[in-house]
């Protein structure tokens, strides 16, 4: 069965091809815990998986300020940063919230400074698609071609699908980062708390392990006994503090 998505210009995008691309993107980002690492994986996968694309970049904004830039080729990273302000395809896509296509930069009147630099680097075509990550981060994924007219409506559709899927995955990465940061803050607070800190110290002495591992032992005990962490800590401290009978 040949399933295809029809796009303008009688071009088609295989559903199986699309599924393979999104599956590869998911596999590449699902285990990543750092946002910048996720961006690097995204542009690498897009560059390798999308036919007709020679380079891929990502421009990200956090609350209106630079949040991150990633490029499949470091030599082209400058095309994705904000030195050009609004004068770039990525910023046009972000501000207008729509797909931007320039199939032949030799005939492109928009973004004159950016276009000059892009052509000097060998770029002849670009597609930029806006990416919504969360309430604090937005961005654009940028697909570049080294030959004119290599990018088409087919690539616009691919960029749109990439943007939608990448936005969900990047949001998950940022959420995991926030949860990890909160857990770290909680751990720091617990370690500084009287009885819990004392109990952690006891476990560290007994097992010769670092504080995070000792805290996890305490948490496991609390879960197994189904009682609050502080109560487990109090019991442990009382037990080791009790004078031994002769």
Residue 184 lies in a domain: no
Residue 126 lies in a domain: yes
Indicate whether 163 and 201 sit together in one domain: no
Best CA proximity match to 39, nearest among 1, 90, 104: 90
Best CA proximity match to 124, nearest among 60, 49, 55: 55
Indicate whether 9 and 101 sit together in one domain: yes
Residue 161 lies in a domain: yes
User: What confidence score (pLDDT) does residue 65 get?
Assistant: 60
Residue 187 lies in a domain: no
Indicate whether 43 and 108 sit together in one domain: yes
Sequence-separated contacts (24+) of 44-52 with Cβ below 8 Å: 44/72, 46/72, 46/141, 46/143, 46/162, 47/72, 49/20, 49/21, 49/24, 49/25, 50/21, 50/143, 50/155, 50/158, 50/162, 52/145, 52/150, 52/151, 52/152, 52/155
Query: What's the length of the chain?
Result: 246
User: What confidence score (pLDDT) does residue 193 get?
Assistant: 61
How does pLDDT run across 133-150, given as a tens digit for each residue? 988 889 999 999 999 999
Distances (CA, A) of 217 to 191, 199, 206: 13, 10, 12
Burial 139-166 (b: 16+ CB within 10 A, else e): bbbbbbbeeeebbbbbbbbbbbbbbebb
- Asked whether residue 18 carries a pLDDT value surpassing 60, the answer given is yes
Indicate whether 76 and 51 sit together in one domain: yes
Residue 96 lies in a domain: yes
- Asked whether residue 187 carries a pLDDT value surpassing 70, the answer given is no
Say which CATH number the domain at 79 has. Answer: 3.30.450.40
Count of domains in the chain?
2
Indicate whether 130 and 231 sit together in one domain: no
User: What confidence score (pLDDT) does residue 180 get?
Assistant: 59
How does pLDDT run across 52-111, given as a tens digit for each residue? 899 999 998 877 565 578 899 999 888 888 766 678 999 999 989 999 999 999 999 999
Out of 52-66, 150-164, 231-245, least confident range? 231-245
CB 176 within 8 A of CB 142: no
Indicate whether 140 and 221 sit together in one domain: no
For residue 7, the SS3 value is strand
Indicate whether 72 and 142 sit together in one domain: yes
Who wins on pLDDT, 3 or 131?
131
Indicate whether 203 and 165 sit together in one domain: no
CB 83 within 8 A of CB 69: no
For residue 111, the SS3 value is coil
Indicate whether 98 and 64 sit together in one domain: yes
Indicate whether 119 and 24 sit together in one domain: yes
How confident is the model over 164-178, as a mean pLDDT?
A: 83
CB 195 within 8 A of CB 222: no
Indicate whether 90 and 211 sit together in one domain: no
Say which CATH number the domain at 217 has. Answer: 1.10.10
How confident is the model over 108-133, as a mean pLDDT?
A: 94
Indicate whether 142 and 43 sit together in one domain: yes
Residue 246 lies in a domain: no
- Asked whether residue 181 carries a pLDDT value surpassing 60, the answer given is no
Instruction: Kindly report the average pLDDT of the chain as a whole number.
Output: 80
CA–CA distance, 29 with 45 (Å, rounded to integer): 10
Quote the domain boundaries for residue 156. Answer: 4-175
- Asked whether residue 7 carries a pLDDT value surpassing 50, the answer given is no
How confident is the model over 7-28, as a mean pLDDT?
A: 68
User: What confidence score (pLDDT) does residue 49 get?
Assistant: 83
CA–CA distance, 107 with 94 (Å, rounded to integer): 22
Residue 181 lies in a domain: no
């Amino acid at each position: 069965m040949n399933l295809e998505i029809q796009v303008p210009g009688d071009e088609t995008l295989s559903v199986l091809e699309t599924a393979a691309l999104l599956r590869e993107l998911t596999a590449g980002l699902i285990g990543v815990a750092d946002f910048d690492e996720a961006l690097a994986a995204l542009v690498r996968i897009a560059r390798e998986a999308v036919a007709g694309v020679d380079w891929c970049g990502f421009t990200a904004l956090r609350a209106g300020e630079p949040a991150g830039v990633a490029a499949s080729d470091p030599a082209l990273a400058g095309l994705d940063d904000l030195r050009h302000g609004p004068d770039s395809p990525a910023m046009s896509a972000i501000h207008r919230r729509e797909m931007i296509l320039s199939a032949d930069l030799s005939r492109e009147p928009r973004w004159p400074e950016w276009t000059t630099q892009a052509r000097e680097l060998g770029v002849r075509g670009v597609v930029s698609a806006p990416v919504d990550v969360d309430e604090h981060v937005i961005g654009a994924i940028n697909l570049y071609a080294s030959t004119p007219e290599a990018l088409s409506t087919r690539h616009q559709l691919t960029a749109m699908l990439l943007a939608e899927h990448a936005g969900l995955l990047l949001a998950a990465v940022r959420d995991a980062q926030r949860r990890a940061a909160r857990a770290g803050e909680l751990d720091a607070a617990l370690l500084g708390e009287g009885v819990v800190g004392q109990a952690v110290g006891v476990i560290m002495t007994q097992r010769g392990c670092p504080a995070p591992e000792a805290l996890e032992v305490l948490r496991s005990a609390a879960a197994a006994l189904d009682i609050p962490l502080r109560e487990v800590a109090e019991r442990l401290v009382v037990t080791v503090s009790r004078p031994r009978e002769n």
